[in-house]
Amino acid sequence: MSARWRIIDTGALDPFANMALDEALLRGYERYNSPPTLRIYGWKYPSLTFGFSQDPARDLDIEFCRKRSMPFVRRITGGGIILHASELTYSLVCSKEDLGIPSRVVSSYKIICSFLISFYKELGIEAEFACDDPEHKTSGELSALCFAAKEKYDIVSNGRKIGGNAQKRSRGVIFQHGSIPFRFETETASSFLRSKAPDTGEYEATCLEDILGQYVSAPELSRTFIKAFEGSFNVETEALRLSEAEEAIYRDLKALKYESVDWNYNRVDITEHKDRVEWKEVSCGLGGSIRR
């Protein structure tokens, strides 16, 4: 029998809400029996996210970000800076048993990302892992930008990186999120770097519109994305909402963590040991029901 997954399509939200919701799904799964979940979302307005270990004061031109009204937020995953705008973004939360994948991070990351290759092929795009490309060379030096780096299991089309993905493990739970750009904006992520030197790697990335030569609607992409996920892992999906526990976690994370200077500048998470009374002994089943 196929495993059952919850699908949550939250539409376009602000960057703080997006990162808070991603982590709420992770905490819900590891603490409150939430089901394995695939979330699809977008961005209400252009926004920057940066990796867990990055220092925004070192890498970002903070004053220029403010001048351009460009918000930025720290992710719980690693990697570099991404300018999110016209894209399909996803996150998933599960155990290795939910997908029948190995425990090792690198192996599981490759297997999970393989469904993205199936997704691209459904769109008529030839895609492969960077390590399978005869022209592949790993990045010689670290870049502050996500799309300027090309690592072993990044996905490429005609040698150009398409999208970016990152994974985190917490208490044995797998969390992964990634972005698939429809098109690139005129103002690139490198515009907001503290160092204004051009980063040629950013221009070695590509997007759906460049490859397909036409616009593909977000609903059509979402349907194709879910179909590729279901087919790759032999799972069934059902569109459901957040549970009551996840909603409570989300609200706290957004207000106390992702909108805070402590988290975004100093990587201090004041919610890390938070255990509110209304969160206790709350769990949700696949249908989102609550048991107290």
The pLDDT of residue 130 is 86
The pLDDT of residue 291 is 26
The pLDDT of residue 23 is 98
DSSP state of 34: P
**From the CB of residue 133, how many other CB atoms can be counted at a distance below 10 Å?**
17
Catalytic residues: 146
- Domain spans of the chain? 3-291
**H-helix or E-strand containing 40?**
strand 37-43
Average pLDDT taken over every residue of the chain: 86
Q: Which candidate, 58, 180, 46, places its Cα nearest to that of 113?
A: 180
pTM for the model stands at: 0.88
The pLDDT of residue 289 is 30
Distance between CA atoms of 16 and 265, rounded to whole angstroms?
14
Cβ proximity of 23 and 77 under 8 Å: no
Over residues 78-112, the pLDDT tens digits come to 998 999 999 999 999 999 999 988 888 888 899 99
The pLDDT of residue 143 is 60
Burial track 75-87 (b if 16+ CB lie within 10 A, e otherwise): bbbebbbbbbbbb
Over residues 131-175, the pLDDT tens digits come to 875 565 554 445 666 655 556 889 999 989 999 999 999 988 999
The pLDDT of residue 200 is 46
The pLDDT of residue 77 is 97
- CATH architecture entry for 3-291: 2-Layer Sandwich (3.30)
Q: What's the gap between Cα 195 and its chain centre?
A: 25
């492969």: which residue's tokens?
128
Side-chain-facing half-sphere of 82: CA atoms under 13 Å: 29
Q: Which residues of the chain have a pLDDT value below 70?
A: 1-2, 133-151, 186-187, 196-203, 273-292
